[in-house]
Amino acid sequence: MITGKINVVEGDITQLSVDSIVNAANTSLLGGGGVDGAIHRAAGPGLLAECRGLNGCETGDAKITQGYNLPADWVIHTVGPVWRDGNHGEDALLASCYYRSLELAEQNNIRSIAFPAISTGAYRFPPERAARIAVGTVKQVLEGNTTIDQVIFVCFSQPSYNYHRQAVEDTITNKG
């Protein structure tokens, strides 16, 4: 059972002491608003310098950098989809963000990873739907042969926390 491997907290992802945090980035990887801007500010100029050499990132993909001034050793940058209407592959692209981030975590021997609510801010992905996709994707990966010990969903608001908490409860009990 994966129950002990998944946790949901409300707080600031830039303050977490985990092996890696995930950045809900834009395609340039050069910083932006929301969690992306907060991570870049907290990490310091080294992060931006390293990101400049990555040549951006496609939607649904992920790239990894050092954590610089963050408590986390690594930052995995993933680009979530902009919500249009749900008929343009948004669900699959969002799931891919989680898969690719966890794949990079595995490749880099990362055992603990924290995710924000990808695409639910400026990209307007419906937050309850996004939480179900996030939790379902993570559960699927954790049920396989993985060295990841802990996944934390770090929610910036109470509603986001509630959606993720409910998604975890539903997924663990096979309702979702």
pLDDT tens, N- to C-terminus, the chain (176 residues):
356 899 999 999 999 999 999 999 999 999 999 999 999 999 999 999 999 999 999 999 999 999 999 999 999 999 999 999 999 999 999 999 999 999 999 999 999 999 999 999 999 999 999 999 999 999 999 999 899 999 999 999 999 999 999 999 998 776 54
Q: Angle formed by the axes of helices 45-52 and 34-43, to 10°?
A: 110
Domain assignment of residue 19, given as a range: 3-172
* Cα–Cα distance measured from residue 113 to residue 102, given in angstroms and rounded to the nearest whole number: 8
The residues, ordered by sequence, that sit 6+ positions from 144 with a Cβ below 8 Å of its Cβ are none
Q: How many domains does the chain have?
A: 1
- CATH number of the domain where residue 79 is located: 3.40.220.10
Reduce the DSSP state of residue 59 to 3 states and report it. strand
* Cα–Cα distance measured from residue 78 to residue 109, given in angstroms and rounded to the nearest whole number: 18
